[in-house]
Structure 1
Amino acid sequence: MSDSNTTDFTNPSTFILLGIPGLEAAHAWLSIPYSIVYAMAILGNFTILFIVKMEPSLHEPMYYFLCMLAATDLVLSTCILPKMLAIFWFRSREINFDACLIQMYFTHCFSAMETGILVAMALDRYVAICHPLRYSTILTNPVVAKIGLVVVLRGIILFFPYPFMARWRPYCSTNIIAHTYCEHMAVVKLACSDTRLSNYYGLFVILFVASVDLAFIAVTYTQILRTIFRLPTKDARLKTFGTCGSHLCVISCSYIPSLFSFLAHRFGQNVPLYFHILIATVYLLLPPMLNPIIYGVRTKQIWETLLRLFPPKGG
């Protein structure tokens, strides 16, 4: 008996997203924590944007970069969560071919933008701690805008070939994607032509972005730590290092799950497929939820502004 999803074709009109193969029976239960994560990400990041907009004292480079991060996280989580929940709740597994390529592009593009913004925030902390007297003259509004533009253009340009490399390939065996969203390699694996170019380019981009960003952050924080340890008193060192605490927590939340996912994909051949997919969704969805919480709790100015704008009842 023929199957419409496995007959020969060269230009599929739709792909079929399976969700999390092996955990189909748990899709409804899994939708609960994913829904909570998405709701917290939306609420938290919109709150950050609102607070910075409403409070003039927060109109500084550090908070401009934080707003860029919040906006990026909103787009990143919205790229994949609504469709994922539709799969879990309504078994709406079909996704248009072009919509799949758009989702794939935006997911990878905004992931790169997020890491680029973390680099920009590391630069901000470096200037604030190592060159405090020149902070306002170095990180002017035009400079911040240029840094933001570079971060955006880098993500756009590096991942621009992704949808084209996927579109130009023939798909002659199946259009079923064993994933919750249109991840680049999950789509490329369905092609029946030579996919080495896509494999090599995808690996190059990932390693290039990760190595450059991590190297810059490592060098920056090495200089920051050297400056902190030169401070005369322990209290001064702790206070100065505390200003970097939020950023270091955000870096950890962003890089540790993604590094774990990368290693599991490359070296965990015996790891179940559902585990790969769970990790792939966690490293995309956990930072958008945690970033506003970390900055809201650890950044005194944001916390005080939030309490002033939304005072607790009876307070």
Structure 2
Amino acid sequence: MDISISITNSSSFQISHFIFMGFPGIHEWQHWLSLPLALLYLLALVANLLIMITIQQESTLHEPMYHLLGILAVVDMGLATTIMPKILAIFWFDAKIISLPECFAQMYAIHCFFGMESGIFLCMAIDRYIAICHPLRYPSIVTGSFVIKSTVLMLLRNGVLVIPVPVLAAQRHYCSNNKINHCLCSNLGVISLACDDITMNKFYQLILAWIVIGFDVTLVFSSYGLILRSVLRLNSVKAMAKALSTCSSHLILILFFYTSVIVLSVSHLVEKSVPLVPVLFNVLHNVIPPALNPMVYALRTHELRLGFQRLLGLINHMSTK
């Protein structure tokens, strides 16, 4: 009789905060990871900021393709900033506690920026498809209005579709364990602590993945398939090389982004046997692409590389005065 009363009282209790446990299995020396993570975060912020300033300063880069790249830089900075300040605070100041509203807000931001990144890659793939397969129509289709409408559509799509993720998570009852074996508020990591049924949460997570990532992946690779077919039909080797060079940087980043998504998804299958794997991949997936994207574009895009060099030369000149 006493036991049943105790269980009833426990099940009616609602926790007020979560506690991040960091990286499972390496708690003793996980603080050493703060240095490479901090450097990656700093690189992501500085490199993307330089990309944005370069695009703004160089009149030759005031084209839809580079405007999309500038939007990608903003999204990358947002994606990394949603998790890295808190992770570094955990490692440096032992700030492991996060309130439920803050946790659900971070969950929303992670999913929203993640979907935005995928959506911008889709817009860039469409941009390259029209530029290579329908070059005569490109100036009339891909305009400043196209960029604005595409960005607003991606914002609305992800902003609205992601809302049920934190809302459903907030409706769950957290009555006992409040320790998240992670260093960020991932949906699956948080709802696994709930005392009631989480079937609806998992089902919506699956639906969201198919709607956003599945839709984007299908159109992205369809676009590049059509681009490849069009390029192979070109009689000029020089024209073929130029076309492939134009979209190679996009394809490198897209392949890396979606490959890491697949790796992250597969890693969750081994979560019970090797819990460190999905946690580490989840963190790296939010910070490596933002740090990598500007590097690839700076190396692969001639016009942007020249603008980058001129900007760095101007900064160096000003600093020596």
Which range, TM-score by smaller chain?
Answer: over 0.9
- Pair 1:240-2:243 in alignment: yes
CA contact (8 A) 2:271 2:277 kept: no
What SS does the aligned partner of 1:170 have?
coil
Over residues 20-67 of structure 1, what are the superposed CA-to-partner deviations in whole Å (9 max), with x where a residue is unaligned?
111112222111110110010000110111111111211111011111
Structure 1 partner of 2:291: 289
CA–CA separation in structure 2 for the residues paired with 1:163 and 1:114: 19
Give the counterpart of 2:163 among 153, 160, 165.
160
Structure 1 partner of 2:152: 149
Give the counterpart of 2:80 among 74, 77, 82.
77
Q: Percent identity?
A: 37
Structure 1 partner of 2:209: 206
CA contact (8 A) 1:42 1:74 kept: yes
What SS does the aligned partner of 2:28 have?
helix
Gaps of 5+ in 2: 1-9
What SS does the aligned partner of 1:311 have?
helix
Structure 2 partner of 1:87: 90
What SS does the aligned partner of 1:95 have?
strand
CA–CA separation in structure 2 for the residues paired with 1:246 and 1:141: 22
- Pair 1:103-2:95 in alignment: no
CA–CA separation in structure 2 for the residues paired with 1:11 and 1:149: 38
CA contact (8 A) 1:51 1:305 kept: yes
CA contact (8 A) 2:15 2:176 kept: no
1:253–1:212 CA distance, 2 compared to 1 (3 A) = same
Over residues 127-180 of structure 1, what are the superposed CA-to-partner deviations in whole Å (9 max), with x where a residue is unaligned?
111111211100121121111111111111111011111111111111111111
CA–CA separation in structure 2 for the residues paired with 1:282 and 1:290: 11
CA–CA separation in structure 1 for the residues paired with 2:164 and 2:224: 33
CA–CA separation in structure 2 for the residues paired with 1:157 and 1:245: 32
Gaps of 5+ in 1: 1-6
1:57–1:259 CA distance, 2 compared to 1 (3 A) = same
Structure 2 partner of 1:306: 308
- Pair 1:197-2:181 in alignment: no
1:271–1:256 CA distance, 2 compared to 1 (3 A) = farther
Structure 1 partner of 2:176: 173
Task: Tell me the C-alpha RMSD between the 2 structures.
Answer: 1.5
TM-score normalised to structure 2 length: 0.92
Give the counterpart of 1:25 among 19, 25, 28.
28
Structure 1 partner of 2:122: 119
Give the counterpart of 2:270 among 268, 271, 275.
268
CA–CA separation in structure 1 for the residues paired with 2:107 and 2:281: 17
Over residues 208-247 of structure 1, what are the superposed CA-to-partner deviations in whole Å (9 max), with x where a residue is unaligned?
2221111101110111111111111222211210111110
Once the two structures are TM-superposed, the CA of residue 73 in structure 1 deviates from its matched residue by 0.6
Number of equivalent positions: 307
CA contact (8 A) 2:11 2:195 kept: no
What SS does the aligned partner of 2:82 have?
helix
- Runs of 4+ in structure 1 over 4 Å off: 7-10
What SS does the aligned partner of 2:115 have?
helix
Once the two structures are TM-superposed, the CA of residue 12 in structure 1 deviates from its matched residue by 2.4
Over residues 79-136 of structure 1, what are the superposed CA-to-partner deviations in whole Å (9 max), with x where a residue is unaligned?
0001001111121100111111100100011100100000000001011111112111
- Pair 1:41-2:44 in alignment: yes
Amino acid at match of 1:310: L
CA–CA separation in structure 2 for the residues paired with 1:78 and 1:216: 28
CA–CA separation in structure 1 for the residues paired with 2:65 and 2:280: 32
Structure 2 partner of 1:135: 138
CA–CA separation in structure 1 for the residues paired with 2:65 and 2:273: 40
